[in-house]
């Protein structure tokens, strides 16, 4: 249990990690439970060092173009020893061993990994020595004598702390042919420079010592970023020389000292190279660049009151600043820390000055094997690796941001703010800057009062559910003895007993609960808890979404109204009261079932590239099909703009689009489909990035030119993908005539591919070729496998042909338009792809017509009477206020038939779906954390458990792609995101294509081979007491309604 400060300390004993290769990352996941059942979850990562120091081994690089080291030569290996903080540390008696590796092991292992070899008993040790590091560094030479050759494992380890480092090297004989002259692998020319401090203030004397020989000269250069600040020559001393200079302001935040030590040529008094060099970064601290702002305010403030923040600068300096007051819980979600602008503006800078000389090429300049190498730069600052439904505003965080303000020299400023109804802790953060100086400060402030109240609720609720609403009282003074509690709810809840009185014995927390039942009404419910004790009072307000998780069902009735005829119709509403919708659609053309089909696309719950595009593609034509009011226009524009933005974020670096957001692979059909939509959206006036379209066209062009026919079972399988790709390129004004001609010459094309290719020719201005291509071509439905990669169907293909004919010979499309219209008007199920293509095609067909005929009608519904409504566009659509038992009247006052669609819809009442399975089987069970099956209908509050679903492909399909498993969980259960917090890592789900987790549901998307079973696991917690509804679990194929399974559902209890 946490103490009064919300803290708890305890010890954790780590097991020994004597086989760890190095530092480990530890993840601490904590869950803090409220007594009402809700909990907060957090994860903190830290580095755990199982060793107090580490060994590093650097092998010599292969020289020239070879990938091996030569035998009969000494090769120098570098060793470094560092403590857990990365600082060099001297270690004695390190063991060096070299082993010959046999070829059979090497073949079995693969690569240059030593993971398997070091775990087996060593054989054939051919070298052993002991070394010690000085200043954290050491080296040793390895020479393998001819005729030996092969792969060798070189290891350095410390028998005291157990850490080791190793590498595998390959040594071979010199080739019989002449090789390029090799430079040595040593670093004989590199100087070791030592500073007397890690950091210097402006005005300090910087001292650098280095080993030198007598009778030499040093060229010293002070370099900052991309310029040389100063340079000079200096004579050397025997054994060691000292370089001194004074740190100045222009050297902040750091400079680099570069030195070249040059001996007199021709004096062979030592074996040191003619020129040696060195580089060392020097950090310079400029006190004048630091501001020291101060915050003066109360340590604690009361909610619903005003408070003041007083600001000053410690040294009375002028500064400009901003202030942010933020809920600490919100900051903890991302581990946000108060910004430190000085650290950013004065971070270590890289060196961009490059230095050349010719000493390496002077004869006799080398006295040994030399390699010129060192690493510099300023990269020390590393970042750790991290509808139908109106949403309730459950979380009202404290986020106040004010400024910028300017504080004059020697002044103090005061700011007045208001604290909302909140209890907890806030962080007050101030960031300041002025004339190259920066600073920041922060202060943690508690928000509390003598009497406080907090209630917790699930994320959502459903009609008919019952819940014990937990209420926590916090009493902070001894003179509060009795508290009255009142629960006030709106019409969406029923609470028979909403008053309680509790006695308080001592300071602390007191918990009570109210029994609340959810009424049969959807929307945003509101609860308010008021507490009173003498002069002290407090309140807590919260919102919660009341939703019915069941799908919306539609009923469409079609009426043909002859000229002069009047018809009456009484719509029938099905489903839960309060969820009804009613739409009237009147058109000159055969009905499309537009309201139902378009709503299906817009409300479709998933969001891959195809479904995102399908949801908005038909909306591009809405304003041309029917009159839209201002609200409908805004909604349509918002939907399309949102989709354009989402699609743009699914584009990969090569210009293609991934099927799911975050995936690296490209969907070829999805790219053509999304590109088609983006081009049409641009033509309709929507803002589409030029680079987005250009990159997409670049990918399409590359794929079009590299396309090869795929023939399987004597059928050309990928011609439609290529034809659609070529169509989109022609639509973009970038027709690829070569690729088009290649496809044209293939005689076994699918009819749909032929029509799309003909449309590409028409767009490219080759009308005669387009018409020749489709002459005597009729649609023949392919087998189902043809649509495997393009989400197709017969109605989708016919819609593509209609769309193609709009560009070639519009009048030829009319028979197909009638056929597709009838299909849309039926109650048949169609995928998002088929539905969207059908609506697009028919919309394109009708808006391209030169129909100037006028048609008028009247209609009457309840108190609404509309006379002389003119059909200026192909159709008229209006959402009407639903009312059970009323009758609508429609009168045709024009000269042609009217096609009327009356669409009613509603959400099904909470009930268990009839179980159904086709071509797949599904098993749904619930288990405790030990893997035992439990009864999910009755669980104790606080129980951790998990849902396990197994799906098996038992049907006629060899492989099922685009499978979707959807689980909606009861309101009283909380989903624990095991991916985010590394909880339940042993409870692994099978491989999925995509995973989507929401407040109350989890969706898995995957593929399933014939006979294959996949398992899906969701970690849960029974968080809230009450009675809740659990919907059925649904699994289906998104493009084939013959593959589906519905299981489970009902009522569950948490006690």
775: Cβ contacts below 8 Å, ≥ 6 apart: none
Q: How far apart are CA 933 and CA 1016, in angstroms?
A: 15
- What is the predicted pLDDT for the residue at 366? 42
- 311, 440: one domain: yes
Structure tokens at 599: 């709503």
Q: How far apart are CA 734 and CA 725, in angstroms?
A: 11
DSSP code for 702: H
Structure tokens at 820: 């597709």
Q: How far apart are CA 530 and CA 470, in angstroms?
A: 14
- 484, 423: one domain: no
Q: How far apart are CA 609 and CA 650, in angstroms?
A: 8
Q: What is the DSSP string of 497-553?
A: --EEEEE--SSEEEEEEEEEEE-S--EEEEEEEEEEETTEEEEEEEEEEE---SPEE
Question: How distant, in Å, are the alpha carbons of 151, 718, 804, 848, 1018 from that of 771?
Answer: 69, 23, 11, 19, 56
- 427, 534: one domain: no
Q: What is the DSSP string of 307-347?
A: EEEEEEETT---EEEEEEEEEHHHHHHTT-----HHHHHTP
**If 0-12 CB within 10 Å is exposed, 13-18 middle and 19+ buried, where does residue 820 land?**
buried
Higher confidence at residue 184 or residue 588?
A: 588
- 480, 620: one domain: no
- 633, 732: one domain: yes
- If you average pLDDT over residues 76-94, what whole number do you get? 92
* Residue 811 in this model has a pLDDT that exceeds 80: yes
- 427, 471: one domain: no
Q: Which residue has the tokens 């390190």?
A: 94
User: Do the domain assignments include residue 777?
Assistant: yes
**5-14, 828-837, 860-869 — which is least confidently predicted?**
5-14
pLDDT digits (tens, 9 = 90+) for 825-851: 888 999 999 999 999 999 999 888 776
Picking from 447, 475, 493, the residue at the C-terminal end of a domain is 447
- What is the predicted pLDDT for the residue at 394? 61
- Please answer whether residues 83 and 89 qualify as being in contact, where contact means their C-beta atoms are separated by less than 8 angstroms: yes
- What is the predicted pLDDT for the residue at 782? 84
Beta-carbon-side half-sphere exposure of residue 951 (alpha carbons within 13 Å): 32
Nearest to 24 by CA among 56, 47, 52, 5: 47
Q: How far apart are CA 794 and CA 786, in angstroms?
A: 11
Higher confidence at residue 679 or residue 12?
A: 679
- What is the predicted pLDDT for the residue at 243? 94
User: Do the domain assignments include residue 895?
Assistant: no
Q: How far apart are CA 132 and CA 92, in angstroms?
A: 4
- If you average pLDDT over residues 675-680, what whole number do you get? 97
Q: How far apart are CA 546 and CA 392, in angstroms?
A: 9
Q: Of all helices (H) and strands (E), which one includes residue 64?
A: none
Higher confidence at residue 386 or residue 490?
A: 490
**384-393, 482-491, 939-948 — which is least confidently predicted?**
384-393
Neighbouring CB atoms inside 10 A of 491's CB total 10
User: Do the domain assignments include residue 96?
Assistant: yes
- What is the predicted pLDDT for the residue at 274? 81
**21-30, 50-59, 343-352, 807-816 — which is least confidently predicted?**
21-30
Residues in the chain: 1055
**Residue 912: pLDDT band by 50, 70, 90 thresholds?**
low
Q: How far apart are CA 864 and CA 545, in angstroms?
A: 32
Domain total for the chain?
A: 5
**If 0-12 CB within 10 Å is exposed, 13-18 middle and 19+ buried, where does residue 401 land?**
exposed
- 466, 493: one domain: yes
**135-139, 305-309, 368-372, 687-691 — which is least confidently predicted?**
368-372
**If 0-12 CB within 10 Å is exposed, 13-18 middle and 19+ buried, where does residue 506 land?**
exposed
pTM of the model: 0.69
- If you average pLDDT over residues 984-999, what whole number do you get? 82
H helices within 91-210, ranges in order? 103-109
Torsion angle defined by CA atoms of residues 584, 590, 592 and 594, in that order, rounded to the nearest 10 degrees: -30
- Please answer whether residues 707 and 735 qualify as being in contact, where contact means their C-beta atoms are separated by less than 8 angstroms: no
% of the chain with per-residue pLDDT over 70: 89
pLDDT digits (tens, 9 = 90+) for 455-473: 989 989 999 999 999 999 9
Q: Backbone dihedral region of 419: left (phi > 0), alpha (psi from -120 to 50 degrees) or beta? A: beta
Structure tokens at 924: 């749904």
Neighbouring CB atoms inside 10 A of 395's CB total 10
Structural domain for 621, as ranges: 589-786+795-850
- What is the predicted pLDDT for the residue at 360? 55
- If you average pLDDT over residues 1006-1022, what whole number do you get? 95
pLDDT digits (tens, 9 = 90+) for 704-719: 999 999 988 888 999 9
Picking from 105, 140, 172, the residue at the C-terminal end of a domain is 172
Choose the most confident range, by mean pLDDT, from 11-20, 342-351, 767-776: 767-776
* Residue 530 in this model has a pLDDT that exceeds 80: yes
Structure tokens at 586: 């009147």
- What is the predicted pLDDT for the residue at 375? 33
- 940, 843: one domain: no
H helices within 732-774, ranges in order? 737-744, 751-763, 767-774
User: Do the domain assignments include residue 873?
Assistant: no
Pairing of strands 305-313, 227-235: unpaired
- If you average pLDDT over residues 637-666, what whole number do you get? 94
CATH number for the domain that contains residue 507:
2.60.40.10
Picking from 493, 516, 546, the residue at the C-terminal end of a domain is 546
- If you average pLDDT over residues 64-85, what whole number do you get? 84
Neighbouring CB atoms inside 10 A of 232's CB total 11
- 439, 305: one domain: yes
- If you average pLDDT over residues 650-655, what whole number do you get? 95
User: Do the domain assignments include residue 270?
Assistant: no
Structure tokens at 578: 């309060």
- What is the predicted pLDDT for the residue at 28? 79
- 455, 442: one domain: no
User: Do the domain assignments include residue 134?
Assistant: yes
- If you average pLDDT over residues 729-749, what whole number do you get? 95
Question: How distant, in Å, are the alpha carbons of 651, 665, 832 from that of 996?
Answer: 19, 18, 19
Average pLDDT over all residues of the chain = 87
pLDDT digits (tens, 9 = 90+) for 29-70: 777 877 766 777 777 778 888 888 999 999 987 655 456 788
- 743, 834: one domain: yes
- If you average pLDDT over residues 600-623, what whole number do you get? 92
The answer to whether the peptide bond before residue 147 is cis (omega within 30 degrees of 0) is yes
User: Do the domain assignments include residue 103?
Assistant: yes
- 128, 87: one domain: yes
Q: How far apart are CA 825 and CA 591, in angstroms?
A: 6
pLDDT digits (tens, 9 = 90+) for 208-244: 988 888 888 999 999 988 899 999 999 998 888 999 9
Neighbouring CB atoms inside 10 A of 272's CB total 17
**Residue 796: pLDDT band by 50, 70, 90 thresholds?**
very high
- What is the predicted pLDDT for the residue at 175? 58
User: Do the domain assignments include residue 442?
Assistant: yes
- If you average pLDDT over residues 945-957, what whole number do you get? 94
- What is the predicted pLDDT for the residue at 174? 74
- What is the predicted pLDDT for the residue at 619? 94
316: Cβ contacts below 8 Å, ≥ 6 apart: 409, 410
Higher confidence at residue 986 or residue 250?
A: 250
Q: How far apart are CA 320 and CA 435, in angstroms?
A: 10
Choose the most confident range, by mean pLDDT, from 19-33, 400-414, 909-923: 400-414
CATH number for the domain that contains residue 753:
1.50.10.20
DSSP code for 611: H
Q: Backbone dihedral region of 840: left (phi > 0), alpha (psi from -120 to 50 degrees) or beta? A: alpha
């Amino acid at each position: 249990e946490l103490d009064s400060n919300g803290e708890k300390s305890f010890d954790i004993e780590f097991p020994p990690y004597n086989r760890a290769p190095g530092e480990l990352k530890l993840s601490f996941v904590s869950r803090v439970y409220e007594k009402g059942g809700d909990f907060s979850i957090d994860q903190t990562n830290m580095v755990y060092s199982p060793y107090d120091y580490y060994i590093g081994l650097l092998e010599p690089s292969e020289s020239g173009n070879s990938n091996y080291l030569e035998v009969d030569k000494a090769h120098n290996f570098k060793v470094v020893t560092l403590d857990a903080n990365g600082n060099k540390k001297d270690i004695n008696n390190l063991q060096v061993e070299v082993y010959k590796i046999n070829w059979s092991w090497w073949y079995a292992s693969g690569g240059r990994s030593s993971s398997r070899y070091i775990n087996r008993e060593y054989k054939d040790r051919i070298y052993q020595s002991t070394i010690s590091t000085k200043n954290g560094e050491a080296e040793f030479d390895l020479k393998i004598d001819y005729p030996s050759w092969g792969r060798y494992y070189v290891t350095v380890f410390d028998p005291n702390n157990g850490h080791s480092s190793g590498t595998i090297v390959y040594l071979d004989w010199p080739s019989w042919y002449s090789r390029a002259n090799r430079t040595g692998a040593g670093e004989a020319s590199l100087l070791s420079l030592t500073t007397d401090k890690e950091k210097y203030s402006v005005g300090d004397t910087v001292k650098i010592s280095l080993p030198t020989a007598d009778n030499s000269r040093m060229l010293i250069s002070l370099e900052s970023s991309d310029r040389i600040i100063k340079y000079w020559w200096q004579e050397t001393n025997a054994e060691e020389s000292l370089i001194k200079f004074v740190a100045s302001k222009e050297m902040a935040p750091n400079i680099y000292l570069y030195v070249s030590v040059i001996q007199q040529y021709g004096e062979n008094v030592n074996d040191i190279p003619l020129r040696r060099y060195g580089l060392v970064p020097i950090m310079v601290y400029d006190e004048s660049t630091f501001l020291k702002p101060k915050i003066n305010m109360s340590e604690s403030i009361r909610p619903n009151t005003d408070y003041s923040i007083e600001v000053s600068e410690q040294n009375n300096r002028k500064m400009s600043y901003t202030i942010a007051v933020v809920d600490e819980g919100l900051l903890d979600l991302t581990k946000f820390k108060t910004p430190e602008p000085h650290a950013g503006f004065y971070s270590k800078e890289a060196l961009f000055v490059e230095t050349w000389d010719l000493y390496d090429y002077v004869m006799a300049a080398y006295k040994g094997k030399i390699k010129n190498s060192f690493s510099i730069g300023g990269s020390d600052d590393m970042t750790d690796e991290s509808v139908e439904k109106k949403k309730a505003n459950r979380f009202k965080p404290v986020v106040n941001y004010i400024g910028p303000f300017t504080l004059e020299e020697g002044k103090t400023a005061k700011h007045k703010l208001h604290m909302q109804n909140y209890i907890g802790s806030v962080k007050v953060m101030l960031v300041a800057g002025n004339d190259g100086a920066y600073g920041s400060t922060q202060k943690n402030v508690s928000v509390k009062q003598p009497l406080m109240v907090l209630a917790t609720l699930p994320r959502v609720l459903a009609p008919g559910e019952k819940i014990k609403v937990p209420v926590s009282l916090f009493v902070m003074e001894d003179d509060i003895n009795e508290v009255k509690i009142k629960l006030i709810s709106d019409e969406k809840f029923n609470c028979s007993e909403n008053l309680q009185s509790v006695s308080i014995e001592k300071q602390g927390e007191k918990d009570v609960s109210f029994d609340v039942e959810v009424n049969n009404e959807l929307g945003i419910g509101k609860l308010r808890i008021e507490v009173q004790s003498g002069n002290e009072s407090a309140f807590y307000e919260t919102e919660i979404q009341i939703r019915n998780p069941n799908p919306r069902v539609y009923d469409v009735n079609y009426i043909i109204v002859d000229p002069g005829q009047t018809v009456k119709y009484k719509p029938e509403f099905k489903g839960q009261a309060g969820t009804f919708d009613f739409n009237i659609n009147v058109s000159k053309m055969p009905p499309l079932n537009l309201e139902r089909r378009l709503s299906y696309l817009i409300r479709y719950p998933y969001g891959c590239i195809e479904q995102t595009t399908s949801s908005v593609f038909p909306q591009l034509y809405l304003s041309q099909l029917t009159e839209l009011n201002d609200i409908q226009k805004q909604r349509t524009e918002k939907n399309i703009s949102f989709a354009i933005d989402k699609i743009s974020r699914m584009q990969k670096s090569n210009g293609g689009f991934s099927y799911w957001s975050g995936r690296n692979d490209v969907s070829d059909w999805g790219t053509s489909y999304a590109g088609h939509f983006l081009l049409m959206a641009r033509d309709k006036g929507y803002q589409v990035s030029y680079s987005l379209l250009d990159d997409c066209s670049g990918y399409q062009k590359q794929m079009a030119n590299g396309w090869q026919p795929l023939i399987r079972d004597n059928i050309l399988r990928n011609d439609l993908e290529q034809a659609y790709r070529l169509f989109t390129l022609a639509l973009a004004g970038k027709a690829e005539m070569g690729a088009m001609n290649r496809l044209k010459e293939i005689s076994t094309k699918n009819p749909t591919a032929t029509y799309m290719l003909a449309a590409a020719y028409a767009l490219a201005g080759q009308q005669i070729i387009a018409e020749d291509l489709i002459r005597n071509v009729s649609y023949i439905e392919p087998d189902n496998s043809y649509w495997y990669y393009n989400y197709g169907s017969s109605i989708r293909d016919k819609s593509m042909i209609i769309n193609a004919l709009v560009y070639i010979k519009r009048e030829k499309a009319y028979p197909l338009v009638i056929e597709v219209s009838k299909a849309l008007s039926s109650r048949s199920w169609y995928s998002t792809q088929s539905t969207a293509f059908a609506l697009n095609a028919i919309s394109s067909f009708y808006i391209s017509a030169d129909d100037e005929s006028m048609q008028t009608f009247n209609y009457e519904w309840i108190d609404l009477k509309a006379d002389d409504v003119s059909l200026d566009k192909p159709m008229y659509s209006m959402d009407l206020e639903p009312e059970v038992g009323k009758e609508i009247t429609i009168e045709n006052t024009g000269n042609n038939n009217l096609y009327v669609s009356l669409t009613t819809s509603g959400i099904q009442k909470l009930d268990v779906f009839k179980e159904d399975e086709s071509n797949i089987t599904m098993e749904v069970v619930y288990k405790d954390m030990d893997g035992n099956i439990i009864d999910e209908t009755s669980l104790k509050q606080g129980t951790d458990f998990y849902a396990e679903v197994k799906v098996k492909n038992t049907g006629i399909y060899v492989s099922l792609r685009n499978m979707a498993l959807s689980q909606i969980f009861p309101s009283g259960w909380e989903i624990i995101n095991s991916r985010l917090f590394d909880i339940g890592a042993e409870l692994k789900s099978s491989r999925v294509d995509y995973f989507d987790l929401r407040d109350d549901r989890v969706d898995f998307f995957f593929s399933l081979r014939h006979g294959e079973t996949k398992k899906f696991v969701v970690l849960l917690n029974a968080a809230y007491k009450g009675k809740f509804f659990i919907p059925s679990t649904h699994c289906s194929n998104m493009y084939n309604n013959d593959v589906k399974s519905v299981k489970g559902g009902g009522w569950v209890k948490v006690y």
